[in-house]
Amino acid sequence: MKNVLIVDDEPAIITLLQYNLKRENFEVDSAINGKEALQKIKAHEYTIVLLDLMLPEMSGEEVLKQMRMDRITTPVIILTAKDTEFDKVFGLEMGADDYISKPFSPREVIARINAVLRRYQVTEANLSDVKEASDDNQNQVVGPFTIDKKQYQVLVDGENLRLTPKEFELFSYLANHDKQVFSREQLLSGVWGFDYSGQSRMVDIQIAHLRDKIETDPKHPVYLKTVRGIGYQFVSGDD
């Protein structure tokens, strides 16, 4: 059975979501602060987490950041009263799978949960195929870069570039399609697993962060190039 962790410090919201999720045959657990939420997430395998950002003791951003640093891949939907573009981009950059602004209807939340879980199932299947194909070779060399798929690292001359999980996924995706040009929408779909209009700025931000780490001169990139009017292209230099 699918089980959901609701993390919110407003009892009325927890009660509302519990009632409606149980009607849809979800098992429901809850936490009222960030520290309690992180403890439960580490102790249990939840199908999905509904995570408020404005939490006591530890913010939702910190909970999400720690989850992804610990390689906990449980899908997360952010629930928050914040509704600026920066907040949305930040949450999704940190590894959230979707974002719902308060106030919301329970029907919307359930629809978003089901959509995220469908995407997650497809992604898990794809990752399983990739893992089977790469089990015999955990390291992939592309140009001067060594991609360590087991350790989630990219190295140059043995030095770890210390990419975030999302930067690693973006780099790996582009490096596996050497010289192919991608639009921002295609990268959203291929790396983040969704295609939301208005979220293309998130791709630009991640590309900029990635360039800072992989390029000698980020303002004049050699590997991660901008294709004007289209999007981005990774060029390894390998013939």
Residue 239 counted as domain residue: no
Q: Report residue 61: phi and psi, to 5°.
A: -60, -45
Distance, CA of 134 to CA of 45 (rounded, Å): 26
**Domain presence at residue 8:** yes
CATH (domain of 84) = 3.40.50.2300
The domain that contains 209 carries what CATH number? 1.10.10.10
Per-residue pLDDT of the chain (239 residues; tens, 9 = 90+): 789 999 999 999 999 999 999 999 999 999 999 999 999 999 999 999 999 988 999 999 899 988 887 878 888 999 887 666 556 666 666 778 888 888 899 999 999 898 888 877 655 554 444 455 455 557 889 999 999 887 778 999 889 998 877 788 889 999 999 999 999 888 888 887 665 555 677 788 889 989 999 999 999 999 999 999 999 999 988 76
169 and 113 in a common domain = no
Same domain, 85 and 187: no
Could you tell me if 120 and 14 lie in one domain?
Answer: yes
- Taking residue 147's Cβ as centre, other Cβ atoms within 10 Å add up to 21
Domain holding 78, by residue range, is 3-130
- Is residue 118 located within the same domain as residue 148? no
Q: Which helix (H) or strand (E) holds 76?
A: strand 76-80
Q: Which residues of 14-49 are buried (b: 16+ CB within 10 A; e: fewer)?
A: bebbbebbeeeebebbbbbbbebbbebbeeeebbbb
Query: Is residue 144 included in any domain, yes or no?
Result: yes
Q: How many Cβ atoms are within 10 Å of 170's Cβ, its own excluded?
A: 24
Report how far residue 160's alpha carbon sits from residue 158's, in angstroms, rounded to the nearest whole number: 6
Nearest to 3 by CA among 50, 48, 67: 48
Number of folded domains in the chain? 2
Whether residues 156 and 111 share a domain: the answer is no
User: Can you tell me which residue has the tokens 């390894």?
Assistant: 236
- Domain end point (choices 115, 130, 145): 130
Say whether both 25 and 110 belong to one domain: yes
Per-residue confidence (pLDDT) for residue 130, from 0 to 100: 47
The pLDDT of residue 80:
81
229 and 162 in a common domain: yes
Number of Cα atoms under 13 Å in the Cβ half of residue 141:
6
> Are residues 59 and 15 located together in one domain of the fold?
yes
Same domain for 176 and 144: yes
Cβ proximity of 53 and 87 under 8 Å: yes
pLDDT digits (tens, 9 = 90+) for 178-237: 999 999 888 888 887 665 555 677 788 889 989 999 999 999 999 999 999 999 999 988
Res 124: pLDDT:
53
Residues 96 and 187 placed together within one structural domain of the fold: no
Q: Note whether 19 and 101 are same-domain residues.
A: yes
In-domain check, residue 165 = yes
What does the pLDDT read at residue 38? 95
Q: Are residues 172 and 126 in the same domain?
A: no
Q: Specify the residue for token string 């989850």.
A: 67
